[in-house]
Amino acid sequence: MVIEKLPIAKLPGVARLQAMAAKYYEQQLLEEVMRRGNIPRHVAIILDGNRRFAQKAGLDKLQGHSLGAKKLEEVLGWCQGLGIKHITIYAFSTENFNRSSEELKVLMDLFVERFKKVVKDERIHKYKIRVRAIGDLSCLPKQVRGAIEEAQEATQGYDGYTLNIAVGYGGRAELAEAVRRICERIERGELKPSDVDESIINSHLYTAGLPDPDLIIRTSGEERLSGFLLWQSAYSELYFCEANWPEFNKIEFLRAIRTYQGRERRFGK
């Protein structure tokens, strides 16, 4: 009689043991991160790999975007648990407008849904989370701009946390717009060319008033910024992981924070 060998992962009880071990490891990581204490003030995340995750899971690739939106809610909770006050996410770039009309409709409908949800989300109001969209909002459909305005107006007085959602965003476009606005002020006599320094440029960026990101995380195995926060990331620590965004878990998140804590930030000194 031939006895078929089952993969270890499919043996009875193994999945449960693996889950218990992962939970224990996650708790150990959390305790280590909290013990070290050097928690970043501002974490930025490039959400990458929604479509790849869906395809690997045998789903329509566009379903990955909905799964990615749900993952974001989970990750925001992790950030709050560590006391990370500022979060910036790269949700949609200017280059993403080159995608198919079908995918763009799915994405724009999802943005409308999620920004409208902000207005009614009890956690947003409980934790005083200010929600802002950063990017060239003029290039977005009217209904998306309307939903963004509702979310921003509903949270504009909050100062507990800041959630920046980069949508219709391009880092070079942001810098070009900042330069253009500064030039306009010089033409009006409000500034002299000699007045222009780093602080002036900072004050004309989408992220004006916020600290630069301490840590930038990118999922899906890609190791580049893709134009994200080009000015603001000058001294950010970078963390790249293989997990596609919808499968990014708390262990990977805590590893990113621990890696940040283990680096010496010299700022060129």
Report the percentage of the chain scoring pLDDT > 70: 94
- 83-119: pLDDT as tens digits: 999 999 999 999 999 999 999 999 999 999 999 999 9
**Rounded to whole angstroms, what are the CA distances from 53 to 18, 156, 263?**
22, 34, 30
Region 195-203 average pLDDT: 96
| Active-site residue identified among 50, 60, 96, 98 | 96
Residue 204 has pLDDT above 50, yes or no: yes
CB neighbours (10 Å) of residue 56? Answer: 14
Neighbours of 218 (CB within 10 A): 24
Instruction: State residue 2's pLDDT score.
Output: 45
pTM of the entire predicted model: 0.90
Question: Where is average pLDDT lowest: 14-18, 222-226, 252-256?
Answer: 14-18
pLDDT band at 247 (very low <50, low <70, confident <90, very high): very high
Walk across the sheet containing 42-46 and list its strands. Answer: 129-134, 161-169, 86-93, 42-46, 215-218, 237-240
136 is catalytic: no
3-state secondary structure of 76: helix
Choose the catalytic residue: 38, 48, 159, 249: 48
pLDDT digits 0-9 by tens, 12-52: 666 778 788 888 899 999 999 999 989 999 999 999 999 99
User: What are the chain's domains?
Assistant: 39-260 (3.40.1180.10)
Confidence of residue 9 (pLDDT cuts 50, 70, 90): low
Let me know if 98 is a catalytic residue: no
Mean pLDDT of the chain: 91
Mean pLDDT for 149-170 is: 95
